[in-house]
Structure 1
């Protein structure tokens, strides 16, 4: 019996899904369905292809994750069956978010799920790829595994999900997606979801879907593509006032969670670095595509968990990401189209919550952008910002650029990237690069001069050429940009270019007057000016490295003479300065930054640099050199008194030593006498002994003495003092003779006794 859904489905429990999925939804606190879920789930659970479109933040993630789990569960998918479901996401952050939701609701299923995104080790993914039943991936890394990983097959794929399909195509993945579809089997179910429906999405649907059921397309178009709880406003301001408004907005919303969108990565980094140094009083984060994968994920998680923070981001954060409790979405740069606007403001007012959005538009962008938003049935109100509550940050940015060359370099890159983004936009009714006040914008970024922009110069040259052909003068904006570009050719990144700007403008005005009178083309004017290798070298980007050194090398005093003569070359002179480490560098007119750094390194200074001096400190804490010359008057004053005191001290010491010497000699003499007396007593006792013993051992032994003498340490008895041991003398010659005489009769007596004993034994035997 086929399931026919009722019209009043509201809860997930009303759907014919497994208990494992219901338990996972309940554990993740998903109870009631949203509109897109209630309309798409009954269709997708039947196994039909779905083309879904709904407002951002309406719950499209669950609309395709529940069918993925249920289809594999019904078909009893196991580890040996291989890949069963494939979910493709445009960005890494969105893929991580989808994977987290899948883990939260699929915890009671036995399927294995994997995440394959760029920025991670390919080998680690390759080893586990063949064991996955559900795979969440980005297009580029997935195609890499399909082409290179052995054993990774999609022949049994059951479900294919394309999330944010329009963004996948806009990011340049059209050919990649076509290659992926060629690897996949045709007998599959395809679910395609997007917040906006474009012609490219329709073309993709025709290629990848079979008899799809359109869900939510008409409803989304009639009701409007933005959430109901979203308040939308826009402000018209000049380009050089955008950062002032952004800073003032952040300072007045310190207790809110704000998401700020900009058009390029370099702008995001410049604003983040400068605002961090200015300390607004709220945590600042930044997210863009040039960051490493781990940095992007950590930033995404930090902003998700914070209550009050500001995140500067590019459109990488505009699609599908669910940041909870975002209060404001501030679009500093205009979106490229209405679809991008819808996705940007969709980061707030998600589900049932409310939010606010603010869009900053230039006067040249207001009419075209408002018309594009009206076509999408987006109601946006115009407001004004009080100038009295706006704080200027131009001076602070100038100080930062002057103190830190890296900030200055980031500002130059941010300037060029913004102008390039406007130049490359397709909708020329909104983005008009020739009407940008680029010179004032460069000053607002804290730059001393406007960097040269090649593509802008070409466009202005074409416009000027067409104007001269029609007999009309070039526009004021074109002449302003061209003057700034030519004045920046000399040194567009040095602070001195500001002082030289006035003279270069006068020369440019004179040159324009000549061009009008002689009707000379720009190509001919460029041909008459000789460009040297130094011109080409210092026209490169990032000229702040050698700009100061270059100005010292160039002989500006010869400019007047050079202009009168036919030779218009730059004349160089030897600079009147000494570079650090000149003693160790070769004698040349130009020293590279690398050699200069090597010459001032620790190793070079230790080898060829000046030697250090050792200091010692006196009792008062004053530093002195080890061998310091002293004042003669201080040294020799009072020398007689010192000598007399020294002589008296020496006399006293000599007298004390004489007395000590007499006492020591008397004590030694007494010890010697006592030792001699004891020796005589021992000799007398040895002579009187009659027990056959000889030598000094004839003396009677103590009761506790066993008579053992160590063979290694044959020392005097313990009764002798230490001094007696030290002054021990060998026995005299007379003592030796007496000892020998005492040993002789003892030997004869013992021999006679033995003979008598032997005779008695013989007699007894007879």
Structure 2
């Protein structure tokens, strides 16, 4: 065989693309096999210090290095090796200990080793209880997974559902909140989760709580049973029922701080102060004024409290930027607020428990809990927003005197070291008068204060731990005054408790406790009946003043007199039917009534049968008004509908006669026309013929539209060509050009009368055209030489000279 010739100029030949792909595939297979072998040989008990010592891929290492993650924390050291071996994990660690990387690194690595692509569908699902935490997890995933080829998506509420549906089928990793995830599982047809490999629950104890229980159960029903499940939280759930619901298989319980003396970071200083409920806002204002060069996070129990405190303190201008965050805000605003607070050096953020879990706000100096948390776990998550990653932090808990003893027991059971401190009386400032002045001048702020009051009392009332939260012992009148309100708004759910207790008492006991000093039994029964007030009585006596009506009695007029209860907002008791309060009523006139009531009779003395009213109402049977309830029934359209029955819709023919929409034909007339089957077939034939004719008509209309569209397109092209001809140069025959050579160009009139289209020619056509033009010129000159040329212009003279030279 002849030897292979060497390449010219000493250059090596490049391998073909197919060979390059083959080499790359072999190299990847070798890397994957060695990586899998390293994972199998990994011992979880080894004490590693950096990520590079773990058996993880080069893209993940590059992403961690580019994001400045090098050292391993305790939870990462103990959880990642088990997760890489595809074990189920229950991970618990203190707040700020790096739990996010503990599950994101295994997610990327497990999908990488399985060579996951977009055609394989969804590989990993990460659930988060709040939108802000989901956004934070997604941002970390983008940073450390930047060198991977996976597609990742963020699915939370507040965004366009249609846009998410279009992209969802192509995602390999999804970070989501439970509600929106369940919506996609139920409504998005192309979303397939049967090939899911990993399920991650961040803040697992909150997700498995009663608030998300039904949603999470529905999500798990859609997922395959054979999968890897990772649960992470600062306060991990160990309930067997929760673990059974998630189908965990021999989970590894990883609690790095189980033997620690404290459930919170050692760098966190924790204190509490006992302050009466009416003095909480004064103490908070004094604290903010004393710490203007600090970054403070203030937790309250409801969004309406957050908004009221933010709006009132913003008007008071404490000298530091104020922000507020709660679940009622739009998603764009919530994201903007978290970004601004993260980037701020000095600021105060008023927030609900939306910001209590997982969020990483850098350099938070103080965490203030103005309202008592619902349990010790919530306290741990709240104070975890400071003292993160071994930094210093301070936290203060405000407790009402009735909450102190029980709450301290709960915190002691959870290994929370907390000390009591006192407030310096000299630095205490009061804002009660200023709040009252602002609420008096601004009705909107007053309305916010009323809502904040009700939401706080409701938040205390619905708590499960009644040893800590005792709504009966709260000084509600004084608390309303501290908010700037003229009086405590009426609380329905508290006032209803007493009436419920009285209602559920045994009747015999109620009769014994009643007044038995009356004369005859019949008189006593009549008196008791007159004192009974039913729910219908209360309903018809209600004024249109909403739930906050009680405090109106304490308003003062400009002249110092007390505003009457019926004169609030410019109305009186006699003006029930004011603006936009008109109701349809059926008035019973004298001609419609039988014998009426005697005007001198007592209103509560009852009605006898001979005094009953009989009211004739059109469309229903005569209504016998034999009680006060029936008398009030005349004023309610909604109640009268029960007696009227269902209405019927009528249509009118050409002669104006009314008919029901669906009317049965006379049976005899129907049978007279023939057999039912024959009539059915005949009806079908007529309908088919109608359909055929309608189809022909529709096709003709479509053809006509097409013709019109074609004519319009031709007219538009013709106008476009005319416009181009007006602006393009015009070619003129040689003889005409010779006769008009004295002018520099053609006149406008000539160009309009004789338009000549200039077409683009190929280079070969142009050369042939030039040659043809020269030959024509030569022929014309020779023909002209045969006859004497009359010289009139300089061009004629040049033509004559060229002919003579030829």
TM-score for both structures, normalised by structure 1: 0.64
Aligned residue in 1 for 2:208:
169
> Displacement, 1:253?
0.7
Q: Which moved more, 1:195-204 or 1:526-535?
A: 526-535
Q: Distance in 2 between matches of 1:259 and 1:572?
A: 43
Q: Which moved more, 1:165-174 or 1:39-48?
A: 165-174
Aligned residue in 2 for 1:536:
542
Instruction: Report how many aligned residue pairs link the two structures.
Output: 528
Aligned residue in 1 for 2:157:
118
> Displacement, 1:170?
2.9
Deviations 1:515-544 (A, max 9, x none): 9999x9999977499967784124523559
> Displacement, 1:370?
0.2
Aligned residue in 1 for 2:650:
none
Q: Does 1:408 align with 2:446?
A: yes
> Displacement, 1:573?
14
Contact 1:232/1:357 (8 A) holds in 2: yes
Match of 2:402 among 364, 367, 374: 364
> Displacement, 1:549?
12
Deviations 1:165-199 (A, max 9, x none): 11113361111111111111112111111111235
Match of 2:491 among 436, 447, 453: 453
Q: Distance in 2 between matches of 1:56 and 1:139?
A: 22
> Displacement, 1:593?
7.6
Say if 1:462 and 1:545 are closer, same or farther in 2 by CA, change over 3 A.
closer
Deviations 1:283-336 (A, max 9, x none): 111110111111111111111111111000000110111111000000000000
> Displacement, 1:206?
5.8
Aligned residue in 1 for 2:230:
191
Contact 1:409/1:544 (8 A) holds in 2: no
SS at match of 2:208: helix
Match of 1:289 among 327, 347, 358: 327
> Displacement, 1:61?
0.2
SS at match of 1:456: helix
Contact 2:294/2:346 (8 A) holds in 1: yes
Q: Does 1:246 align with 2:284?
A: yes
Contact 2:122/2:172 (8 A) holds in 1: yes
In structure 1, the gaps of 5 or more residues are 472-513, 560-569, 578-587, 596-766
Deviations 1:465-497 (A, max 9, x none): 99999x9xxxxxxxxxxxxxxxxxxxxxxxxxx
Contact 1:345/1:357 (8 A) holds in 2: yes
> Displacement, 1:19?
1.1
Aligned residue in 2 for 1:703:
none
Say if 1:464 and 1:62 are closer, same or farther in 2 by CA, change over 3 A.
same
SS at match of 1:365: helix
Q: Does 1:37 align with 2:76?
A: yes
Q: Distance in 1 between matches of 2:569 and 2:130?
A: 55
Match of 2:304 among 243, 250, 266: 266
Say if 1:465 and 1:62 are closer, same or farther in 2 by CA, change over 3 A.
same
Q: Distance in 2 between matches of 1:573 and 1:329?
A: 42
Say if 1:199 and 1:429 are closer, same or farther in 2 by CA, change over 3 A.
farther
> Displacement, 1:202?
6.0
Aligned residue in 2 for 1:387:
425
Aligned residue in 1 for 2:85:
46
Match of 2:166 among 119, 127, 130: 127
SS at match of 1:87: strand
Aligned residue in 2 for 1:81:
120
SS at match of 2:312: helix
Q: Does 1:425 align with 2:431?
A: no
Q: Distance in 2 between matches of 1:237 and 1:373?
A: 18
Q: Distance in 1 between matches of 2:556 and 2:517?
A: 36
Say if 1:20 and 1:271 are closer, same or farther in 2 by CA, change over 3 A.
same
Q: Distance in 1 between matches of 2:445 and 2:569?
A: 31
Say if 1:305 and 1:35 are closer, same or farther in 2 by CA, change over 3 A.
same
Say if 1:309 and 1:54 are closer, same or farther in 2 by CA, change over 3 A.
same
Matches for 1:118-157 after TM superposition, within 5 Å: 118-157=157-196
Q: Distance in 2 between matches of 1:123 and 1:574?
A: 46
Q: Does 1:345 align with 2:383?
A: yes
Contact 1:233/1:383 (8 A) holds in 2: yes
SS at match of 1:115: strand
Match of 1:55 among 76, 94, 109: 94
Q: Does 1:398 align with 2:436?
A: yes
Q: Does 1:301 align with 2:339?
A: yes
Say if 1:155 and 1:530 are closer, same or farther in 2 by CA, change over 3 A.
closer
Q: Distance in 2 between matches of 1:328 and 1:25?
A: 30
> Displacement, 1:257?
0.4
Aligned residue in 2 for 1:592:
579
Say if 1:181 and 1:436 are closer, same or farther in 2 by CA, change over 3 A.
same
Contact 2:489/2:550 (8 A) holds in 1: no
SS at match of 1:310: strand
Aligned residue in 2 for 1:14:
53
Contact 1:169/1:200 (8 A) holds in 2: no
Q: Distance in 2 between matches of 1:435 and 1:573?
A: 31
Q: Distance in 2 between matches of 1:251 and 1:208?
A: 52
Matches for 1:208-219 after TM superposition, within 5 Å: 208-216=247-255, 219=257
SS at match of 1:592: coil
Contact 2:487/2:554 (8 A) holds in 1: no
Deviations 1:252-307 (A, max 9, x none): 11110000000011000000011111101111111101111111111111111111
Contact 2:489/2:548 (8 A) holds in 1: no
Aligned residue in 2 for 1:739:
none
Aligned residue in 2 for 1:566:
none
Deviations 1:36-56 (A, max 9, x none): 000101111111111111111
Q: Distance in 2 between matches of 1:207 and 1:323?
A: 31
SS at match of 2:246: helix
SS at match of 1:258: strand
Aligned residue in 2 for 1:109:
148
Q: Does 1:434 align with 2:434?
A: no
Larger Cα-atom Rg: 1
Contact 1:240/1:440 (8 A) holds in 2: yes
Contact 1:24/1:104 (8 A) holds in 2: yes
SS at match of 1:10: coil
SS at match of 1:334: coil
In structure 2, the gaps of 5 or more residues are 1-36, 519-524, 583-806
SS at match of 2:493: helix
Q: Distance in 2 between matches of 1:282 and 1:57?
A: 27
Q: Distance in 2 between matches of 1:549 and 1:223?
A: 55
> Displacement, 1:387?
2.0
Aligned residue in 2 for 1:65:
104
- Alignment RMSD (CA, Å): 3.7
Say if 1:534 and 1:207 are closer, same or farther in 2 by CA, change over 3 A.
closer
Say if 1:209 and 1:113 are closer, same or farther in 2 by CA, change over 3 A.
same
SS at match of 1:441: helix
Q: Distance in 1 between matches of 2:517 and 2:464?
A: 37
Contact 1:260/1:311 (8 A) holds in 2: yes
Contact 1:574/1:589 (8 A) holds in 2: no
Contact 2:486/2:551 (8 A) holds in 1: no
Deviations 1:1-28 (A, max 9, x none): 5222453211111100011111111111
Q: Distance in 2 between matches of 1:532 and 1:279?
A: 45
Say if 1:111 and 1:249 are closer, same or farther in 2 by CA, change over 3 A.
same
Contact 1:51/1:205 (8 A) holds in 2: no
Aligned residue in 1 for 2:364:
326
Contact 1:55/1:220 (8 A) holds in 2: no
SS at match of 1:220: coil
Say if 1:222 and 1:74 are closer, same or farther in 2 by CA, change over 3 A.
same
